[in-house]
Amino acid sequence: MKGVKVLFLTLIISLLLLLSIDNSIMLADTGAKIRCEEESYDFGEIKQGDKVSHTFTFTNTGDEVLVLKSVRGS
């Protein structure tokens, strides 16, 4: 009887481990993914009071909607 309990417990633990590994692999390839053409931009030397601007381009390369929240400049 003890051998059956140990075998059953071993099978349950193995099944749980297999399920958790499969889910993490499947989840890693899905969802929103952001790609930036450039991560920073150097304005060089600018005089105080000059207005400068630059546009950063981001692309969602994932398979779900990408939501940007609390975006702030540095």
In a domain, 32, yes or no: yes
Task: Tell me the pTM.
Answer: 0.47
Is the pLDDT higher at 41 or at 10? 41
In a domain, 68, yes or no: no
Nearest CA to 32 out of 57, 59, 60 is that of 60
Count the domains in the chain: 1
Full domain range(s) for residue 52: 2-60
Is the pLDDT higher at 42 or at 68? 42
pLDDT band at 59 (very low <50, low <70, confident <90, very high): very high
- At 35, give phi and psi (nearest 5°): -125, 130
pLDDT value at 52 more than 90: yes
pLDDT band at 26 (very low <50, low <70, confident <90, very high): low
SS3 content of the chain, % helix, strand, coil (to 5): 35, 10, 55
Ranges 19-28, 39-48, 65-74: which has the least confidence:
19-28
